[in-house]
């Protein structure tokens, strides 16, 4: 009786989501390397963020396991890093990151969501103004909302709009934090980081926060991301990346100055009040990170696949947005996106519809996550079926 009354509003909301075609359910997938199965249907997984195909690479796992001893296999940090959870594996990974990026310091987080929801509230006060791209990830939006400061959202990748907003507020704030992704998760397009850095240099008190979640591993000569590729790593104040995508692990990091790290250790709640990453996980991440610079072939293959797909559509007079390994095919209404995704799944490609609130209403889409280990034959079939949709 009480449950009926207490949960009634939830049932209504769920019914509304179902009526709009926006109800989400957890798929009961069986995983088999690059493939996933749903019931009888076996499909190539084009919906994960395993862009380099590392998560399914058994050779890598075997190499890692060969070096591992039961003493190193520490499955839990058992407390926050500020208590007893600060293990050698954490620090070694941070030092490796700082070294690769050529930055003073690095700090680990349990996931990208923690990083984004925690860094901004820690560093932004009431004399700070945040200027964020309209399409930044939900975790950044939540971080902005938790910050005790004002914010503006500038039109997606529109640096003129950003500059207009910034120049109009110079007298009112002491500090400005520009927040963007380098590769946008749902549109697959990139930010011009060099132009952002130039803008930063023209105004006092400006800091840059760049989320490289979808670029880390994929771009740059060593796979460190777009900032590395564009040669602007030094100019990014908070360069954040995640390990759960191309790097086939879990967790996240920021590379930054020593002062910033020390400040975050003292002020960032999702860093302070959580059990640290399992040391074994930090060791696995470091093992992969050390091999990342050598994975140029995989990165080139991935880039080639993206070009191939976009080119095939361009030849048919259709423009696919973005210019990365994330290829969105915008459909519009959610129910149509669901039907088209189901059609592709019947052809053996696990592509999912992305719907509101993840993307704006009316822009539901198929989001294809390319992976470096797609074969030429699979790519041809994928293109054929996509064009027939």
Q: How many CB atoms lie within 10 A of CB 4?
A: 8
Of 105-113, 196-204, 272-280, 301-309, the segment contacting ligand PMP by CB under 6 A is 105-113
Range list of H helices, the chain: 2-19, 58-67, 88-101, 112-123, 138-146, 159-167, 193-202, 226-230, 258-267, 269-272, 279-291, 296-315, 334-346, 376-388
Indicate left, alpha or beta for 217 from its phi (over 0: left) and psi (-120 to 50: alpha).
Answer: left
Name the residue whose CB lies closest to ligand PMP: 112
Which residue from 266, 385, 248, 246 is spatially nearest to 326, judged by alpha carbons? 246
**φ, ψ of residue 116 in degrees (nearest 5):** -70, -30
Can you tell me which of 116, 180, 222, 345 binds ligand PMP, judged by CB under 6 A? 116
Q: What are 228's two structure tokens?
A: 């590395």
User: Which one-letter DSSP state was computed for residue 42?
Assistant: E
**Is position 6 annotated as part of the catalytic site?**
no
- Please pick, among 110, 185, 334, 369, the residue that the annotation labels catalytic: 185
Our answer to whether residue 164 is catalytic in this structure is no
Cα–Cα distance measured from residue 171 to residue 321, given in angstroms and rounded to the nearest whole number: 38
Is residue 211 among the annotated active site residues? yes
Q: Does 55 bind ligand PMP (CB under 6 A)?
A: no
Q: Is 245 a catalytic residue?
A: yes
**Binding of residue 367 to ligand PMP (CB under 6 A):** no
Of 34, 81, 90, 137, the one binding ligand PMP (CB under 6 A) is: 137
182 is a contact residue toward ligand PMP (CB under 6 A)? no
Report if residue 180 touches ligand PMP, rule: CB under 6 A: no
| Active site annotation includes 171 | no
Q: In whole angstroms, how close is the CB of 140 to ligand PMP at the nearest point?
A: 7
181 is catalytic: yes
In the residue annotation, 185 being an active-site residue is answered as: yes
Q: What is the closest distance, in whole angstroms, from the C-beta atom of residue 244 to ligand PMP in the complex?
A: 4
What x/- string results for residues 268 through 307 when contact with ligand PMP is judged by CB under 6 A? ----------------------------------------
Which position among 51, 87, 101, 113 is part of the footprint of ligand PMP (CB under 6 A)?
113
Task: Give the integer Cα–Cα distance in Å for 324 and 192.
Answer: 13
Q: What is d(CA 73, CA 54) in angstroms, rounded to the nearest whole number?
A: 21
- The answer to whether residue 216 forms part of the interface with ligand PMP (CB under 6 A) is no
Considering all CA atoms of the chain, what is the largest pairwise distance in Å, rounded to the nearest integer? Answer: 63
Which residue of the set 133, 211, 229, 230 is catalytic? 211
Catalytic annotation, residues: 49, 137, 181, 185, 211, 214, 245
Tell me which residues touch ligand PMP (CB under 6 A). Answer: 111-113, 116, 137, 139, 181, 185, 211, 213-214, 242, 244, 252
């Amino acid at each position: 009786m009480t449950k009926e009354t207490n949960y009634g509003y939830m049932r209504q909301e769920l019914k509304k989501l179902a009526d709009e075609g926006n109800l989400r359910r957890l798929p009961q997938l069986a995983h088999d390397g690059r493939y996933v199965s749903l019931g009888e249907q076996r499909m190539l997984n084009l919906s994960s963020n395993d862009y380099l195909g590392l998560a399914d690479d058994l050779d890598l796992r075997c190499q890692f396991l060969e070096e591992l001893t039961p003493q190193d296999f520490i499955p839990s940090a058992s407390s926050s890093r500020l208590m007893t959870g600060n293990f050698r594996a954490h620090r070694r990974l941070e030092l490796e990151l700082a070294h690769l990026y050529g930055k003073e310091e690095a700090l680990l987080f349990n996931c990208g969501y923690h990083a984004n929801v925690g860094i901004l509230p820690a560093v932004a006060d009431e004399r700070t103004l945040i200027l964020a791209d309209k399409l930044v990830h939900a975790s950044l939006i939540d971080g902005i909302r938790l910050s005790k400061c004002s914010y503006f959202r500038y039109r997606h990748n529109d640096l003129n709009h950003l500059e207009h907003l910034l120049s109009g507020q110079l007298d009112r704030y002491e500090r400005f934090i520009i927040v963007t992704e380098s590769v946008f998760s749902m549109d697959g397009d990139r930010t011009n980081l060099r132009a952002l850095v130039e803008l930063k240099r023209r105004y006092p008190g400006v800091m840059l926060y760049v989320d490289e979640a979808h670029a880390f591993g994929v771009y740059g000569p060593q796979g460190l991301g777009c900032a590395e590729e564009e040669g602007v790593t030094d100019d990014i104040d908070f360069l954040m990346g995640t390990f759960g995508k191309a790097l086939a692990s879990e967790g996240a990091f920021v590379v930054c100055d020593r002062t910033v790290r020390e400040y975050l250790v003292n002020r960032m709640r999702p860093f302070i009040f959580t059990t640290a990453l399992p040391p074994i996980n930090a060791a696995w991440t470091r093992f992969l990170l050390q091999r990342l610079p050598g994975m140029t072939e995989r990165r080139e293959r991935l880039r080639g696949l993206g070009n191939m797909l976009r080119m095939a559509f361009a030849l048919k007079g259709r423009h696919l947005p973005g210019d990365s390994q994330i290829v969105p095919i915008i459909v519009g209404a959610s129910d149509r996106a669901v039907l088209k995704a189901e059609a592709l799944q019947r052809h053996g490609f696990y592509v999912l519809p992305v719907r509101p609130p993840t993307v704006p209403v009316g822009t539901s889409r198929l989001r294809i996550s390319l992976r470096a280990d797609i074969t030429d034959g699979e790519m041809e079939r994928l293109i054929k079926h996509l064009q027939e949709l």
